[in-house]
Amino acid sequence: MAFGWIDEQAELRRRAGLVRILRPRAAGTPLLDLASNDYLGLARHPEVTEGAARAARTWGGGATGSRLVTGTTELHTELERELAGFCGFEAALVFSSGYAANLAAVTALAPHGSLIVSDAGNHASLIDGCRLARGTTQVVAHSDPDAVRQALVGHDGPAVAVSDTVFSVDGDAAPLTGLAEACREHGAGLVLDDAHGLGVLGDGGRGAPHAAGVAGAEDVVVTVTLSKSLGSQGGAVLGPARVIEHLVNAARTFIFDTGLAPAAAGAALAALRLLRREPARAARAGAVARELYDRLTAAGLEAVPPDAAVVSVRAPSPEQAVRWAADCRAAGLSVGCFRPPSVPDGISRLRLTARTDLSGAEIERAVRVIGETRP
């Protein structure tokens, strides 16, 4: 029977407690949200939603084609210019998703004969970029510049190290200064995914590379998403103008994909301008994360110290993690649930995302529910 093996795989997932399901959410919900990536609380901000609506009224519901045909509007170029300037880079290129931006950056910058040095904790989109690239990939120990340095020793040809700036599972930050130094010793480039840093770290939320002093360097390329702190959808690659020009000509997820919908570009641009005007939002997100961590650990829970806005709480097993998240939901709290294969270390956990707009009472309520429902 065609696809008969799918039933076997489904049974294996069920036995391992790894079945995933879709839960459509209503426009309004009484749940306290600590599961989304809306770090700055901008997804429903009136200025952001009006930016989306205005763009749709002006440019239409869709981009109408690939970026190289009809999918580039004046709005896209405006967003690229302001995003690059805000984050401290020479140029930017907007994609339909952060996933597509990561695939583009890695595959286009790792030709035949190149070496890709990839952190063991990298996001799936970076891993897939490594798999699709024509270079050879070497996975190295997590957040270890010396491991990157050792991998680059003796390689003759183009090389690039690839890392998240803030890792999505535990919310720990990569040692960006050390990674940049290791790459420069061997003439290698550095590609950084700042999905969880933009809007949270750096001066006024300008991102982890900006905070580390590597933004704008000739050998550093950064990818970002517009779907987290900026409350919209899409992604971008930031870097030297010649790198961006190369991506326009060589990145398949740019050349062969329909451009980002104008509404998403308009929402992201409005959010970016709001963040520039209200930089305290970035610091508040980090403060909320630290308060969550302090309260959770004080309650006897095992959590990982947050470097940005992600707080990870360890669970005993995949099955208990799922039950824990479900019990939280029944008690009015929405939290993320990370299990294998999404976690590289095989340890299941609840994943909480801090938001700028969480009140002290909401933080206290979240900690109470998590503690009362623990396995």
Query: How does pLDDT run across 134-183, given as a tens digit for each residue?
Result: 999 999 999 999 999 999 998 999 999 999 999 988 899 999 999 999 99
Mean pLDDT for the stretch of residues 84-99: 98
Distance separating alpha carbons of residues 375 and 371, to the nearest angstrom:
9
What's the pTM? 0.94
Asked whether residue 210 is assigned to any structural domain, the reply reads yes
Residue 83 is predicted with a pLDDT of 98
In the predicted model, what is the mean pLDDT of the chain? 95
Distance separating alpha carbons of residues 139 and 153, to the nearest angstrom:
14
Domains held by the chain: number: 2
CB-based contacts of 91: which residues, under 8 Å, 6+ apart? 80, 84, 238, 239, 240, 241, 243, 244, 245
Going from the C-alpha of 273 to that of each of 47, 51, 59, 101, 279, the distances in angstroms are: 10, 11, 20, 22, 10
| Range(s) of the domain holding residue 254 | 46-277
Q: What are the tens digits of pLDDT across the range 255-266?
A: 999 999 999 999
Residues 194 and 283 in one domain: no
Distance separating alpha carbons of residues 337 and 20, to the nearest angstrom:
10
Q: Residue 342's pLDDT band (boundaries 50, 70, 90)?
A: confident
The domain boundary, picked from 220, 251, 277, lies at 277
Find the length of the chain: 375
Structure tokens at 339: 């299990």
Instruction: Judge whether 193 and 160 are in contact, CB under 8 Å.
Output: no
How many whole angstroms from its chain centre is CA 252? 21
Residues 123 and 109 in one domain: yes
Residues 219 and 287 in one domain: no
The domain boundary, picked from 246, 277, 308, lies at 277
Taking each helix axis from N to C terminus, what angle separates 318-330 and 360-373, rounded to the nearest 10 degrees? 130
Name the region of 216 (left: φ>0; alpha: ψ -120 to 50; beta: rest): left
Asked whether residue 17 is assigned to any structural domain, the reply reads no
- Which among 308, 315, 322 is positioned nearest to 355, based on CA atoms? 308
Look up the CATH number of the domain holding residue 302.
3.90.1150.10
DSSP conformation class of 174:
P
